[in-house]
Structure 1
Amino acid sequence: MTSWMKGLPEDLQAKVKKVDKKISEKLSEIDEIVLHNQQRVLQIFRENRVAEEDLVGSTGYGYDDIGRDKLDKIFADYFKTEDAMVKPQLTSGTHAISTAFFGVLRPGDSLHYLTGMPYDTIQEVIGVAGDNPGTFKEYNIGFSYTPLLENGKVDYQTAEKNLKEDKSIKMVAIQRSRGYSSRDSFVVAEVAEMVKFVKKHAPNAVIFIDNCYGEFTEVDEPTFYGADLMAGSMYKNAGGGIAKTGAFLVGSKDLIEKCGSRLIVPGAGKYEGATYPFMRDFYEGFFLAPNVTGEAVKGSIFTAALLEEMGMEVSPKWDAQRTDLVQTVTFGKPEPMIAFCAAIQHNSPLNAFVDPVPSHMDGYEDEIIMASGSFTEGSTIELSSDGPLRAPYSLYIQGGLNYAHVKIAITKAVLEAFYKQLNRCNKK
């Protein structure tokens, strides 16, 4: 027995050992993905001749920022797009997505989601949730979506009808991750099929991908298959746990120009905006991203396998193909969900002494329970868990800067939420 498991119940030790053996081959598969993606990143850094002066950053207007322009080129090269915009002025993935929407769509245009209703924060941007200023409604921009089938897959038959009937649709959005829903996240092969479908039935529509949580989890990215515009967050996968803020957009040159004009100002567009002191973190984070993402994916596999051993309902299963960082566990009622989330907080490097309390969070309709003892606030490449207090009371666990921390924290969370909780109930 290794020392980190000292003091754990023998039954839990046995379960951990069983899981270690069961998932070993799956973890080796992740290592191969990491090697492939790391090789690509390394080669792109070399080809773009990254140097110390690229890491300094700029001040004021940010004109002639060679490091910023080179980083845009690196992102465009990795995602195989014409252009990119990597900015600390983009405050989150949701901000990048909103910038894409308002950069491309004009009054009278419509956005259509092929993958069902988007998650809570995007609903607020559109205006179907909340009562906020500046939503689609104020700009006379329409919104529609095709509900997913019961199995969580795209309803192509209904989508074909929707795309043909609504001539105002200018952008079709594909949400790769599950968000706060119970469906599986879409693997890149499925996204590629969606892109092909949209090009056939709405050839003039801009195909937009919400790729948050997805970068580096597979050897391919959605933009390899013809997506026009894609967004992601720098303090999720692409920042490698180093980036403190920021997000990115990659896509065709004309669309990135439109997004730059929306974010900054027409005329200067993406070529304005100071980067001091963020560039070193952005470069180093992107270089580390393949490995850090791989560590987080390994942690998700362990989490799924151990919780399955505990008899919990999890999605995806431990042996399923992974396409993002999100691991769902469903509790069916709020009390055990809150207890498990608290146990993750108690096994975090920061604020381990804090008990998370369900509360309102901007951008969400329901109260949210969240554990996040992370070095960067809101970083979901670091181990965290959260979920809305609504049926079926599912907790969304994601991230982990290294596999060892996830393994320790999840095991201790299982101890707190299952074994110790059972002992308390027995004593009563």
Structure 2
Amino acid sequence: MELWKQDLPKDLQEKVAKVDEMIKGHLKAIDDQVLYNEQRVLKLFREHRVAEEDLVGSTGYGFDDIGREKLEAIYADYFKTEDALVRPQLISGTHAIATALYGVLRPKDTLYYMTGMPYDTIQQVIGVVGDNPKTLKEYDIKFDYTPLDETGKVDYDAVKEKLVTDHTIKMVAIQRSRGYATRDSFVVSEVKEMIDFVKKYAPNAVIFVDNCYGEFSEVDEPTFFGADLMAGSLFKNAGAGIAKGGAFLVGRKDLIAQAAAQLYAPGLGKAEGPTWGYLRDFYQGLFMAPHTTGEAIKGAIYTAALLEELGMEVSPKWSAKRTDLVQTVIFGKPEPMIKFCAAIQHHSPMNAFVDPVPSYMDGYADQVIMASGSFTEGSTIELSSDGPLREPYCLYIQGGLSYAHVKLAVTAAAKEAFYKK
């Protein structure tokens, strides 16, 4: 018997052994994907001649920051776009998305989501929930969306009707990850289909992709297929747990310029923006991103397989194609959801002694239960779990800097939640 299993109940030991055998082919496929993506990153580091002086960063206004400029050129090349904005002043994925929306949209324009209602924090930005100042609604920027069909996929007939009849649609948004919904995240081939569809029926619309949780999780990215603008977070996949903050936008040069003017000021744009001591982490995070994302995805495959063996309803299934870090488990009622979330916290490296308590958080309409024993606050490339206290009481488990940690923590959480009386 493997030493790490010796304190597990016999039944759980047997389930873990079964899962290990079941998923090994899928883990090998992820390793192959990591090698391909890492090869691309390494090639760009070499081509752009990254050197020690690029890691120093800038202060004050941030003029002539050669390391920042080189990093943004690498991001643009990796995502096959014209330009990029990779900045510590972008504090989260939501902030990057908001910066893109405010940068591109004007009064009377319509922001249209073809992938259903966006998740909670973006609803706050738009102004469809909450009572916050400076929402898109306050600026007379309109919002519309088309619900997904009963299978959780895009309702193309309804989307076509919107695109051909509403000439105020300036931006069509695609949310790749499920957010706090129970539908599957969209794989890149599905996002490509969406992009092609929009270009056919609304060729002048800006196609924006919320790519949070998605970078490096496949060998393709939405921008390879014509997305005009895309956002992501540096303390998710692209920062590999090394970056302590920051976010990025990649896309068309004119759209990046508009976002930069929104983030800083008109006339300043990308020319300013000090990087202080962040660049070393940003570069190293990008270099490690394919590997760390792969470790998290392998952990999600194991999590799904083990919890399925324990009779839980999970999405995606362990054998499904993966396109992000998010694994859901449906509990159906609040008590077991809270107990399992607490078990994840108890097997984290930080604050393992803490019991999570449901509470209201800024940007969310419902109480949220959250386990996050991470080294960087809010880092979802590190193992965490959270979910709103509302039906169907779905817990979202994501991240993991190493497959070993996910395997140990989820197995221990299963023991604590399902075997202890």
TM-score range, shorter chain: over 0.9
Counterpart for residue 372 of structure 1: 372
Residue of structure 2 in register with 1:40 after alignment: 40
* Within-5 A mapping of 1:156-195: 156-195=156-195
What is aligned with 2:333? 333
Residue-by-residue CA offset, 1:56-109 (whole Å, 9 max, x unaligned) = 000000000000000000000000000000000000000000000000000111
Measured in 1, the distance between the counterparts of 2:9 and 2:385 equals 24
SS state at 2:303 partner: helix
Question: Structure 2 length normalisation: TM-score?
Answer: 1.00
Q: Does 1:101 align with 2:101?
A: yes
Match of 2:261 in 1: 261
Q: Which residue of 2 aligns with 1:357?
A: 357
- Work out the CA distance in 2 between the residues paired with 1:48 and 1:356: 45
Inter-partner Cα distance in structure 1 for 2:131 and 2:165? 29
- Report Cα offsets for 1:316-362 as digits up to 9, x if no partner: 00000000000000000000000000000000000000000000000
Distance 1:245 1:324 in 2: 20
| Alignment of structure 1 residues 137-152 onto 2, 5 Å | 137-152=137-152
Q: What is the rounded CA distance, in whole Å, between the counterparts of 2:209 and 2:89 in structure 1? A: 20
Work out whether 1:242 is the aligned partner of 2:242.
Answer: yes
Q: Which amino acid aligns with 1:274?
A: P
In 2, the alpha carbon distance for the partners of 1:8 and 1:46 equals 47
Residues in 2 aligned to 1:2 and 1:274: alpha-carbon distance in whole angstroms? 50
Q: What secondary structure, in the 3-state scheme, does the structure 2 residue paired with 1:300 have?
A: helix
Distance 1:60 1:185 in 2: 41
User: Could you say what secondary structure the match of 1:173 adopts?
Assistant: strand
Percent sequence identity over matched residues? 73
Is 1:291 paired with 2:295? no
Q: Say whether residues 1:272 and 2:272 are aligned partners.
A: yes
Partner SS, residue 29 of structure 2: helix
Cα distance between partner residues in 1 of 2:66 and 2:252: 21
CA distance in 1: counterparts of 2:213 and 2:87, whole angstroms: 18
- Tell me, what secondary structure is at the counterpart of 1:69? helix
> 1:399 corresponds to which residue?
399
Aligned residues: 421
Deviation at 1:296, TM superposition (A): 0.1
Q: Does 1:123 pair with 2:119?
A: no
* 3-state SS in 2 of match to 1:112: strand
> Cα deviation per residue 1:269-321 (whole Å; 9 max; x = unaligned)?
02211101100000000000000000000000000000000000000000000
Query: Aligned partners of 1:346, 1:140: CA distance in 2, in Å?
Result: 46
Q: Secondary structure at the match of 1:84?
A: strand
**What's the RMSD between the two structures over aligned residues?**
0.4
TM-score, length basis structure 1:
0.98
> How far did residue 268 of structure 1 move?
1.2
* SS at 1:189 equivalent: helix
Structure 2 SS opposite 1:314? strand
* Between 264-273 and 275-284, the greater mean CA deviation after superposition: 264-273
Please tell me the residue identity of whatever aligns with 1:368. Answer: V
- State the distance in 1 between where 2:76 and 2:7 align: 50
**Separation of aligned partners in 1, 2:47 and 2:3:** 45
Name the SS for the 1:250 alignment partner: strand
Shift of 1:210: 0.1
Counterpart amino acid of 2:109? D
**Runs of 4 or more above 6 Å deviation:** none
Q: Any idea what SS the aligned residue of 2:366 has?
A: coil
In structure 1, the residue matched to 2:135 is 135
Q: CA deviation at 1:419?
A: 0.2
1:149-170 Cα deviation digits (max 9, x unpaired) = 0100000000000111111100
CA distance in 2, matches of 1:399, 1:139: 36
Is structure 2 residue 198 aligned with structure 1 residue 198? Answer: yes
Give, as a single letter, the amino acid of the residue that structure 2 aligns with 1:138. E
